[in-house]
Amino acid sequence: MIDILLVGMFTAFFLAALEPLISFLSLIVSLLFVNATLSLTFSLVGTLLTGWTDWKDLILKTVGCAFLGSSLLAIVERLAYFRPNNNSVRQ
């Protein structure tokens, strides 16, 4: 379980670090396709670095960690950017 979390964080880190490249590639290809491809690629590399026993294990961990990495990145982006709530301002 800890290796899935580790590979998910590995994937989220590289997705965040390569944000300018992702933005540039999204001009050519769909943003969804670019995010999915890079997320699966980074997750595959991370899974191979942690070690795997068979093909089923490799595929399941790669897809699961890619989803976890993208989700972690989305959560961190939501938490990192401050957006004031206009309804809480008293006039």
pLDDT in tens, 3-62: 899 999 999 999 999 999 999 998 999 989 999 999 999 999 999 999 878 999 999 999
Q: CA-to-CA distance for 87 and 68, rounded, in angstroms?
A: 33
Report DSSP state, residue 88. Answer: G
Tokens 């890619």 — which residue?
A: 66
Alpha-carbon torsion, ordered 59, 20, 72, 88, to 10 deg: -150
Q: What is the pLDDT of residues 74-84, one digit of tens each?
A: 898 888 877 67
Give the ranges where 18-30 is alpha helix by DSSP (H). Answer: 19-25
Report DSSP state, residue 59. Answer: H
Tokens standing for residue 27: 């001009």
Q: What is the pTM of this model?
A: 0.81
